[in-house]
Amino acid sequence: MLYICCEKPLRRFHINSSIKTGLLLFSFVASTLLTPAVCTAQRASNPDFPQYESSGYSDYPEMTEPEPGADESTSVYEYLDREGESGSEDSENYYDEPNYESAGTGEYDETTDVSEAAESAPPPARQLLKPGAPIDIAEKTIRVGRIPYLSVKQLMAQAVPLLRNLQKRTGAKEVRLVSSGSYSDIISALARGKIDFAWVGPTAYLKHRDKENLMAVAKAKFGDETAYRGVFIAPAKGKVQGLEDLSGNIVGFVDPESASGYIYPNYLLKTLKIRLNKKTRVAFLKNHDNVLLAVLKGKIDAGACLEKTITASKIKDLDKRIIVLAKTEEIPSDVIVCRQDCAANLREKFQEALTSIKPGELPGSPLTFLAASDDEFAPVEAVMRYLKLLP
């Protein structure tokens, strides 16, 4: 029973059930209508106010035809659904915010300690497929697959100048960027001929190379750098202040096949003999920015991501809000790969186009490319065999 107390004189008024229901309904409607306005005002006045509370972290462009003179990024972008078919960029199933309490994938996968692993036998000799028949490149739409390691809006801002450059150099009808939810999805699309090339980390390439008959075409170079690192990060005032504190907490990673966002951080832990107990929860957050934002929001206790995610971030006072727990060893740059039976003239033309890009040619980016060979990934193979990720 609900009572309202009023001054002078003190009397109790009985409120019947229908009036009570009306008051509750009014309160609910008022809060529903006013909350978005309050949040909007907070976002406008405070740049640090979280921007993606309800829809996850990814910031997507509208998938519409560009107006004349407008941003062309959406006209060269495709999204692959879970079955690997091209479709609209509706990624609802992929980009929902992870359930941090159960931490996505559950328990940390504790494999045999690195120090206990026996030396692997040398890999069997590879038998390459014959290249495909020549094609008419002028009539070809070249599709390049890449996971959105950044938000797609950021990714496309970087990619559009590159795609236009490659279209001009190859003489192709069009060059498009195709994205999906994971390295495995992209590799699967390449293996089934849905895309022509894939831009992936060296660990993802090596994991699928033999099974899917892949070969390296080129590797990325950023200025003078042909390698990068992963880092473990945590809130500056959180309960994780060192790698030894990770055990029993929630740890965020990028993707099971991400070199800097999982494999090399995992390798670092094992070489340091840091074991994570069964109470440790793991969340794969799908891109590097997500890991940083989850740490800042307190959704996870620590995370592993690309070092450049931290060094290139424009988040205010970031150096005071997080700490870097450790860095991995250097990882060879990402690699552009294709199927071994890709048309020889297409592979050669695309490689030539990539490696012909000169420093400073892409606006606002130091990106260039070098020809790649499997010999350069021998150190990565050794790490993956150490972790028993390769036979």
Residues across the chain = 391
pLDDT class of 147 with cuts at 50, 70, 90: confident
Based on the domain organization, do 221 and 339 belong to the same domain? yes
Residue 46 covered by a domain: no
Most confident range (mean pLDDT) of 9-18, 71-80, 147-156 is 147-156
**Residue type for position 6:** C
At 354-373, the pLDDT tens digits run 999 999 999 888 999 999 99
Question: Which are the contacts of 41, defined by CB distance < 8 A and separation ≥ 6?
Answer: none
Based on the domain organization, do 361 and 323 belong to the same domain? no
Residue 306, domain CATH:
3.40.190.10
Residue 56 covered by a domain: no
At 213-254, the pLDDT tens digits run 999 999 999 999 999 999 999 999 999 999 999 999 999 999
- The boundaries of the domain holding residue 161 are 76-86+101-225+332-386
- Cβ atoms 366, 223 nearer than 8 A: yes
At 301-354, the pLDDT tens digits run 999 999 999 999 999 999 999 999 999 999 999 999 999 999 999 999 999 999
pTM above 0.85, yes or no: no
Based on the domain organization, do 214 and 343 belong to the same domain? yes
pLDDT for the residue 20: 53
Residue 293 covered by a domain: yes
Based on the domain organization, do 150 and 288 belong to the same domain? no
- Tell me which of 331, 348, 375 is where a domain ends: 331
pLDDT for the residue 55: 24
Based on the domain organization, do 297 and 341 belong to the same domain? no
Rounded CA-CA distance 25/22 in Å is 5
Based on the domain organization, do 158 and 248 belong to the same domain? no
Based on the domain organization, do 250 and 210 belong to the same domain? no
Residue 9 covered by a domain: no
- Tell me which of 316, 331, 346 is where a domain ends: 331
Domain count, the chain: 2
Based on the domain organization, do 177 and 291 belong to the same domain? no
- Tell me which of 291, 312, 331 is where a domain ends: 331
